[in-house]
Structures are given as C-alpha cells and as structure tokens.
Amino acid sequence: MLIRIVTFIIFLSFPIISYSALIQTDWLIAPGIVEEGVITRDTSTSLEWLSLERMLGRPSDSVSSWMSDGYLNGWRFAEEDEVVGLLVNFGFPGYDYSLNGSHSDPDLIDSSINILTSYLGDTVSSVSSGNVQYSGVIGVIKGQEEELNGFTAYTISINGNIEYVHYGSSCCVEDPTISSTTSYFLVRETPSPVPIPAAIWLFGSGLIGLVGYSRLKKA
C-alpha cells in the first residue's frame, strides 16, 4: 500500500503546465463596504490592479496620503515593467520604446485595448466627440528616484478606423486634478499560492502519515 502511494505522489510531481489568469474580484474597502469587480488579479505575478476609473481625476498627493494611512493602505504606484507585463497579458506586443506614437498593427492594438478597458476601465472615452472616438487609458506610474511618470495605451479612431495609437511611457501626462483622462496604475502584492509540487508533497506526506498511523493501530 505504501509503495502505491509513493508511486502516485511521484507521478503527480511530474512537471505540470500552468497558465496565468486574470481574475476580476471585489474590493473590501472597509468592513461592510465592498466595491464589486474593481480589482484585477494577475495570477502570474500575484499582483492586484485597481481599476483606473476608481482614481480618475484624484490629486496625486491625496492618493499618496491614502496609501500611507488611508483606505489605499497596501497599494502603491506600479512600475513601468509591471504595467508592460500586464499589458502583454492583455495581448499587447512586447514593449519597445519606438512604440511611442503610431504602430504598424492597429488591429492588434484595438483588440488589446478592448480587453484592457474591460478589466481596468476606460479613462479617455469621455473626450470622444462625433466621429472621433478615444479608447484606452492614461495613468500615472512610479518613475525614477520616486518621481511619478506616466504610461499611456489608447487609440484614436475616426469614422471607425484607427488613425492613431499611443502605447508606452510618457513624461508628459497631465496632473489628474486638471485632466479628465488621467488616473493611476495602482498595484498591491497578494500572498503567493503554494507551488504545485509542494502542495502535492504536503498531500502525499499526509497520506503516508495516515498509513503509518493505521498500521500502528493494527499492531
């Protein structure tokens, strides 16, 4: 019996293909206060992202203050490589500094923008007018030496055709207090799950212990 259990555990321990997932969850701001579907959890990085619509137009000093002693405690400004990693999961191409401005594959960007806004919200659509449509996000991120920078991912369409794409970092984002289109990329770490091999070993060692205990009782 013991040999069979050990063989079963070894079989389960063979490499298992795992896939990252993006999961929308609720935000428990305080006991009894919940906002539904405003957090996106990236299982590949164990990072949670707050909807950009949630902090749209808020002053940066207020956001920083809320991080230290308010209801944003535990959240921080995302770094550029973290934002890029998330957008790659949304289908964006790998980051390239030359992408600032136009892009050669607007259809790919358009599809990715739709996924992005379905998870993190749309901060620029409010400036759409007539046959000119904006879609995507503009957000503040952590820059070098604790300075705040910006990251943009949006399209401008005219009569349904994409005419302009902006995807990349930017030092020129407007202060959210004077811009109706700028928010913040905010993240927080979540506890990493137990790795699959470790979980299997814990499960298996428990089974072995039960078998040993059973034999002792029979003896």
pLDDT tens-digit readout, 169-188: 776 666 676 678 899 999 99
Q: Which residues contact 83 (CB under 8 A, 6 or more apart)?
A: 139, 141, 151, 185
* pTM, rounded to two decimals: 0.73
Residue with tokens 């902006």: 166
CA 114 to chain CA centroid, Å, is 15
Helix (H), strand (E) at residue 116: helix 106-120
pLDDT tens-digit readout, 123-162: 999 999 999 999 999 999 988 766 788 898 888 899 988 8
